[in-house]
């Protein structure tokens, strides 16, 4: 097996790894951690990472080309001969640009390396304003972190610092704090290699270099805000989040973006029951490293004041609030009566925004009332066509595709469909429900909708008019809409940030979502309401339900452990 050797740096309280070996390099004794790399093509940073050693780096990013310009990752390399002796090259090399092979020795902690790291940081800080108190990145800034760990405490700069003007309108969503930039060029490479639109460039030379755009061509593409995450410092800031909060106050949960069926893995940052931002979370199985701006900035509806906060029922034509206990009792009774009268006339519509657990509970509950109750899939929002990146300057897609924004604007059609197929046999589309309503065959409609407010709303005016003819409409939704106008009972819905559960993306990847905030007002999530309807005691526990789902629905058998891990689990192929 090809093996690479990385120097071991004793960690606080950490035990040295068991396979540590001592080797002689000239006069020095090196403590080395061997790592097997198989046939992987790795650079020193990646090899060291596998050995549990961190090499600081700025310009290198696994999704971008290597430029080796920041010099933060300098290491010494050598070779371990078959006889166990080590020959060092004696030079500092950028770890990001140096591939490792069998026998490579990576020295990350020699005096030379440590000195060089401090030098690099000092020079990066020469013109840096150090306005951390007002910098949005403070707390997650790599310049802060590395300076703390690898840098020196003082600067020897005695001249005036450069103070280039800020560019608050670099793009509609992005501001550039020019003086904080460390010229790693990650942002430039992103716009050239991933977005392809190439809005960004470096102008001027030497310590007057600046990131800039062509006049009148702002950084405005559907992936643009990714440069904010890529920027290791506070130079590029998202205007949506700017000055809203300090990052150390945010509590982060792993979740999945609900805005299209790509199902980008995300970090959901919230505090005090407010969602502050969404950030992409690296997931090789889902989308890679990035996410689109539509998803990233599409969360504001969660914090909106206009949401339904309490259950409502129609009295004298107006929706009036009533208690949850009563709501649950009423809905249960309505369903029971309707099923007793004509079970075929009862339709439960499951939106593709429900989690698998919720869809499972609801389907199971509906079928337990009577096998004849029909389960249907709610409208699946489709907007335009799949949009792939990179694009060229004229907006034409280029191969190979590095990121796809899908036309299907919902997170869990795949999951809900699988459950519907299991319980209903064939899939009943929403149009079919509307047709049945038109024909006057329906007497009760249970709409588990909870669509985020997008475009013209999830129900067209004609559909609403037709469904309005149904005798009883029970609705779960987030907002007043055409649907709530025809509903007889409205139960507030939960947003994805308030739910624990599973979303299945376009490729059949089941990923876990976790709640970052509790439901607003008195709200209960759909899953909790169905549990209450079923008279199952307790709160919704996603892992338990997932196990139950895996044992009852064959399509979900892969989730039997209940734990989806960080990256999710691929269900069987969809086609």
Partner 1 sequence: MPIPESDVKWVKTPTIGWVEQMYIPAIVEGLRTTVRHSIATLFGSGARTQEFPEVEPKLPANYRGVHRLNRDEKGRVKCVACYMCSTACPAHCIDIVAAPAPKEWQSDPVHGYPREKYPETFVIDELRCIYCGMCEQACPVDAIELTTLYDLTGLSREDMIFDKEKLLAVFDETTKPDAKYPNPIRTRSGKLGPASELPPDQGLTFSSTAQS
Partner whose binding site includes residue 148, from ligand FES, partner 1, ligand SF4, none (CB under 5 to 8 Å by kind):
partner 1
Instruction: Round to whole Å and give the CA distance between 342 and 261.
Output: 36
Cis peptide before 400 (omega within 30 of 0): yes
Which CB sits closer to partner 1, 177 or 458? 177
Instruction: Round to whole Å and give the CA distance between 266 and 259.
Output: 12
Which CB sits closer to partner 1, 167 or 406? 167
Interface ranges with partner 1 (CB under 8 A): 12-13, 129-134, 138, 148-149, 154-158, 160-161, 163, 166, 242-246, 248-249
Burial of 243 (0-12, 13-18, 19+ CB in 10 A): exposed
Which CB sits closer to ligand SF4, 192 or 406? 192
Q: Token digits for 500?
A: 């624990």
Which of 5, 8, 58, 403 binds ligand FES (CB under 6 A)? It is 58
Which CB sits closer to ligand FES, 66 or 274? 66
**DSSP letter string over 502-563?**
EEE-TT-EEEEE--SSPPSTT---HHHHHHHHHT--S---HHHHHHHHHHH-GGGGGGTTS-
Spell out the residues 6+ positions from residue 269 whose beta carbon is closer than 8 angstroms to its own: 247, 250, 251, 252, 275, 276, 277, 278, 279, 516
Number of residues that bind ligand FES (CB under 6 A): 13
- Binding string, residues 169-208; x marks residues near ligand SF4 by CB under 6 A: -----------xxxxxxxx---------------------
Spell out the residues 6+ positions from residue 457 whose beta carbon is closer than 8 angstroms to its own: 451, 481, 482, 483
Give residues 120-139 in contact with ligand SF4 (rule: CB under 6 A): 128, 130-133, 135, 137-138
73 is an interface residue for ligand FES by CB under 6 A:
yes
Q: How far is the CB of 32 from ligand FES (least distance, A)?
A: 22
Which CB sits closer to ligand SF4, 6 or 59? 59
Q: How far is the CB of 158 from partner 1 (least distance, A)?
A: 5
Reported as type and span, the H/E element at residue 312 is: strand 312-315
Which of 6, 32, 64, 72 binds ligand FES (CB under 6 A)? It is 72
Q: Select the span of 91-99, 174-182, 209-217, 325-333 touching ligand FES (CB under 6 A).
A: 91-99
Instruction: Round to whole Å and give the CA distance between 135 and 144.
Output: 11
Give residues 95-124 in contact with ligand FES (rule: CB under 6 A): 95-96
Instruction: Round to whole Å and give the CA distance between 24 and 30.
Output: 6
Nearest to 414 by CA among 255, 290, 550, 570: 570
Partner whose binding site includes residue 141, from ligand SF4, partner 1, ligand FES, none (CB under 5 to 8 Å by kind):
ligand SF4
Spell out the residues 6+ positions from residue 145 whose beta carbon is closer than 8 angstroms to its own: none
Partner whose binding site includes residue 391, from ligand SF4, partner 1, ligand FES, none (CB under 5 to 8 Å by kind):
none
Nearest to 416 by CA among 477, 494, 504: 504
Q: Select the span of 19-27, 94-102, 193-201, 307-315 touching ligand FES (CB under 6 A).
A: 94-102
Instruction: Round to whole Å and give the CA distance between 385 and 380.
Output: 14
Angle at 244 between CA 242 and CA 248, to 5 degrees: 100
Which CB sits closer to ligand FES, 7 or 443? 7
Give residues 217-276 in contact with ligand SF4 (rule: CB under 6 A): 230-236
What Å distances lie between residue 394 and 22, 80, 202, 343, 421, CA to CA?
57, 51, 21, 56, 43
Which of 141, 198, 268, 531 binds ligand SF4 (CB under 6 A)? It is 141
Q: Are 466 and 438 in contact (CB under 8 A)?
A: yes
Which CB sits closer to ligand SF4, 185 or 511? 185
Contacting positions for ligand SF4 (CB under 6 A):
128, 130-133, 135, 137-138, 141, 143-144, 180-187, 211, 230-236
Contacting positions for ligand FES (CB under 6 A):
57-60, 68-73, 94-96
């Amino acid at each position: 097996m090809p093996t690479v050797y990385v120097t071991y740096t004793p960690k606080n309280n950490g035990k040295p790894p068991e396979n540590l070996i001592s080797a002689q390099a000239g006069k020095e004794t090196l403590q080395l951690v061997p790592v097997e790399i198989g046939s992987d093509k790795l650079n020193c940073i990646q090899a060291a990472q596998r050995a549990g050693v961190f090499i600081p780096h700025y310009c290198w990013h696994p999704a971008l080309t290597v430029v080796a310009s920041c010099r933060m990752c300098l290491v010494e390399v050598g070779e371990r001969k078959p006889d166990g002796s080590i020959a060092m090259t004696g030079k500092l090399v950028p770890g990001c640009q140096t591939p490792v092979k069998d026998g490579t020795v990576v020295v990350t902690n020699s005096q030379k390396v440590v000195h060089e790291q401090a030098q690099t940081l000092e020079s990066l800080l020469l013109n840096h304003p150090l306005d951390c108190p007002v910098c949005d990145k403070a707390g997650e800034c790599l310049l802060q972190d590395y300076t703390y760990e690898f840098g020196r405490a003082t600067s020897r700069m005695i001249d005036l610092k450069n103070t280039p003007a800020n560019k608050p309108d670099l793009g509609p969503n992005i501001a550039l704090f020019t003086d904080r930039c460390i010229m790693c060029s990650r942002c430039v490479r992103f716009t050239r290699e991933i977005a392809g639109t190439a809005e960004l460039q470096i102008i001027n030379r030497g310590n007057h270099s600046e990131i800039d755009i062509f006049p009148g061509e702002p950084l405005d593409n559907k992936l643009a805000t990714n440069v904010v995450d890529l920027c290791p410092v506070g130079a590029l800031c998202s205007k949506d989040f700017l000055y809203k909060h300090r990052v150390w106050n945010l509590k982060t949960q792993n979740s999945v973006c609900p805005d299209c069926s790509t199902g980008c893995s995300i970090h959901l940052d919230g505090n005090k029951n407010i969602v502050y931002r969404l950030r992409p979370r690296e997931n090789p199985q889902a989308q890679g490293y990035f996410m689109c701006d539509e998803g990233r900035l599409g969360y504001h509806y969660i914090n909106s004041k206009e949401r339904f906060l309490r259950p409502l029922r129609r009295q004298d034509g107006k929706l009036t609030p009533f208690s949850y206990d009563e709501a649950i009792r009423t809905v249960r009774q309505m369903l029971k009566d309707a099923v007793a009268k004509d079970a075929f006339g009862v339709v439960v519509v499951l939106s593709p925004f429900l989690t698998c657990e919720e869809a499972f509970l609801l389907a199971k509950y509906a079928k337990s009332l009577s096998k004849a109750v029909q389960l249907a899939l709610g409208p699946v929002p489709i907007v335009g066509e799949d949009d792939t990146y990179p694009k060229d300057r004229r907006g034409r897609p280029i191969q190979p595709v590095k990121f796809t924004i899908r036309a299907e604007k919902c997170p869990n059609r795949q999951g809900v469909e699988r459950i519907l197929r299991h319980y209903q046999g064939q899939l009943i589309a929403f149009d079919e429900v509307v047709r049945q309503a038109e024909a006057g065959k329906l007497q009760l409609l249970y709409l588990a909708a909870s669509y985020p407010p997008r475009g013209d709303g999830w129900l067209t005016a004609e559909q609403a008019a037709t469904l309005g003819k149904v005798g009883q409409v029970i609705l779960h939704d987030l907002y007043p809409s055409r649907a709530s106008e025809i509903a007889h009972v409205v139960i507030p819905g939960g947003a994805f940030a308030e739910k624990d559960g599973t979303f299945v993306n376009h490729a059949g990847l089941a990923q876990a979502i976790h709640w970052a905030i509790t439901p607003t007002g008195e709200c209960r999530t759909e899953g909790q309401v169905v549990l209450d309807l079923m008279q199952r005691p307790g709160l919704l526990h996603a892992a338990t339900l997932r196990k139950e789902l895996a044992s009852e629905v064959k399509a979900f058998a892969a989730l039997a452990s209940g734990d989806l891990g960080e990256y999710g689990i691929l269900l069987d192929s969809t086609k």
